[in-house]
Amino acid sequence: RLAAAAAAASSLGQPGRRASVGGGAAAAAAAAALPSARRTYGSEAKEEEELRIRYLDDEHKGIVVLGLNRSHAKNALNKNLLKMMSKAVDALKSDKKVRTVIFRSEVPGIFCAGADLKERAKMHSSEVSSFVSKARATINEMANLPVPTIAAIDGTALGGGLELALACDIRVAASSAKMGLVETKLAIIPGAGGTQRLPRTIGVSLAKELIFAARVVDGEEAKSMGLISHVVEQNEAGDAAYRRALALAKEFLPQGPVAMRVAKLAINQGMEDLCENIFLGIAFGVNNELLLCSLQTIPTKDRIEGLLAFKEKRPPRYKGE
């Protein structure tokens, strides 16, 4: 079921190749101000690009960064942005050279403000249902990427923006960031997986409290409840969470690519099929899903290389085979 990309700050000096997806309709109000940070993917970057994709090179080769860039609309999710995100994710999931994907914002002070409500206000009720379904499907596609994913939350993540972050395996946030599922304020509910992923992340009772109250928490509060894995003090450039996410992604690079993909699959399916796996464990003395996933790594060349490297006391040279 589980099938199985935003740039490094120029001060980091990381070269890379960039693919850009442009276009999009105007939407909600201007982004709230933080200390301004100039973020680009290179001199050829264009202002109209709403989703920026960068494949990092050198010591970060294998890391892909997806950057939301709708500054005029606080990175709100509209039809066009969802279409671009879906297209990018579809390309990433079949690219064996991709090892980790980082989702970030190119707009200072904002991660994603949720759905584009100005666009939605112009929709017929039937169109709204279709839009919500598309948002949910796109975020599910993100969750199902076969490689580790990290959300770098350097600003506000509300509604669908937080749902996007929740679909990532790991979340890193600046202490000043604000996040919450605030849909009940608009007499609706989180429609892109938030009602399922938030309880799985922080527990049912606390998730209900946050959703019922439409509560917004900062990075420190989010860390204390397990909503994020790492909290960092914001820096002058406004990209502290991204820098931490990049360092974390770099830790993943030396590991066996096939093993990383299969480990994610086993963890995700084990969480989804908890009851089934408990039954199988009692009846047969084995976690069937874990066994099937583990068997996938046994015939790989990487497994043999790992053993050989250990024997020869050298770093392994994995090829994802």
What confidence tier does 42 reach under pLDDT thresholds 50, 70, 90? very low
Output the CA–CA distances (angstroms, integers) from residue 253 to 135, 146, 151, 297, in the order listed: 30, 15, 17, 17
pTM across the whole model: 0.76
Question: For residue 299, what pLDDT is reported?
Answer: 65
How far apart (Å, rounded) are the C-alpha atoms in residues 29 and 32? 9
Output the CA–CA distances (angstroms, integers) from residue 71 to 38, 45, 61, 63, 232, in the order listed: 13, 14, 28, 24, 23
Q: How many Cα atoms within 13 Å fall on the side-chain side of residue 110?
A: 24
Catalytic residues: 115, 160, 163, 183
Question: For residue 126, what pLDDT is reported?
Answer: 74
Q: Quick check: 313 pLDDT over 60?
A: yes
